[in-house]
C-alpha cells in the first residue's frame, strides 16, 4: 500500500475514525477523495472534491491532498485537524455514513467558520491597550 493511501486514525471523544485520502480520475476529471470509516463499522463516508472552474484539487501542480477555491484558502487533506473539520461539518449537515458528499459544500462551511474564528481572535486581541502604548 502506498503512503498516499495510508489509513490513519482520528480520535474524537470516544469515537475512533479510520481515514485516508487519495486522488482519482474515474471519468477523466480530477478528484480528491477523503474516506472516513468509524472503527468497528463498514459504513464509509466519502467526501469528494471534483475539479472545475475555480475549484482546485492537487493533480500534479500542487502537493498531494490539496483542495482550494481559486479565490480561497487551500486546505491540506493530510492534516488531521482539517480532516476533523470536514467530518464535523458533515455531521453538522446531517450526513452520516454510508454516504458520498460534495466536499465543496463542506469546504465553504469550514472556511467561513475559520474566518469567523480569526475575526473573533483579532477583535479580542485588539480590545485592550496596544503593547507599549501609554494608558
What pLDDT, in 10s, does the model give residues 63-99? 678 999 888 788 999 999 999 999 999 999 999 999 9
Q: Is the pTM of this model over 0.85?
A: no
Q: Is residue 129 part of a domain?
A: no
Q: Pick the residue with more confidence: 114 or 119?
A: 114
Q: Pick the residue with more confidence: 28 or 86?
A: 86
Distance between CA atoms of residues 13 and 111, nearest Å: 23
**Cβ atoms of residues 61 and 72 within 8 Å:** no
Query: What whole-number percentage of the chain has pLDDT above 90?
Result: 56
Distance between CA atoms of residues 56 and 47, nearest Å: 15
Distance between CA atoms of residues 17 and 121, nearest Å: 30
Q: How many domains does the chain have?
A: 1
Read off the DSSP letter of residue 5. G
Mean pLDDT of 40-48: 95
Q: Is residue 132 part of a domain?
A: no
Specify the residue for cell string 484539487: 57
Specify the residue for cell string 472503527: 39
Q: Is residue 64 part of a domain?
A: yes
Q: Is residue 134 part of a domain?
A: no
- Residue 58 structural domain: 3-119
Distance between CA atoms of residues 43 and 84, nearest Å: 17
Mean pLDDT of 40-60: 90
Q: Is residue 100 part of a domain?
A: yes
For residue 79, the model assigns a pLDDT of: 94
Q: Is residue 108 part of a domain?
A: yes
Amino acid at each position: 500500500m502506498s503512503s498516499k493511501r495510508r489509513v490513519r486514525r482520528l480520535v474524537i471523544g470516544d469515537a475512533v475514525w479510520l481515514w485516508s485520502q487519495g486522488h482519482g480520475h474515474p471519468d477523466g476529471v480530477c478528484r480528491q477523495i477523503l474516506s472516513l470509516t468509524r472503527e468497528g463499522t463498514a459504513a464509509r463516508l466519502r467526501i469528494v472534491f471534483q475539479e472545475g472552474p475555480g475549484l482546485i484539487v492537487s493533480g500534479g501542480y500542487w502537493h498531494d491532498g490539496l483542495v482550494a477555491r481559486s479565490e480561497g484558502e487551500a486546505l491540506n487533506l493530510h492534516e488531521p485537524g482539517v480532516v476533523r473539520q470536514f467530518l464535523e461539518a458533515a455531521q453538522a449537515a446531517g450526513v452520516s455514513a454510508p454516504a458520498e458528499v460534495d466536499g465543496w459544500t463542506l469546504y465553504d462551511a469550514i472556511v467561513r467558520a475559520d474566518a469567523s474564528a480569526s475575526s473573533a481572535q483579532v477583535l479580542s486581541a485588539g480590545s485592550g491597550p496596544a503593547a507599549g502604548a501609554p494608558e
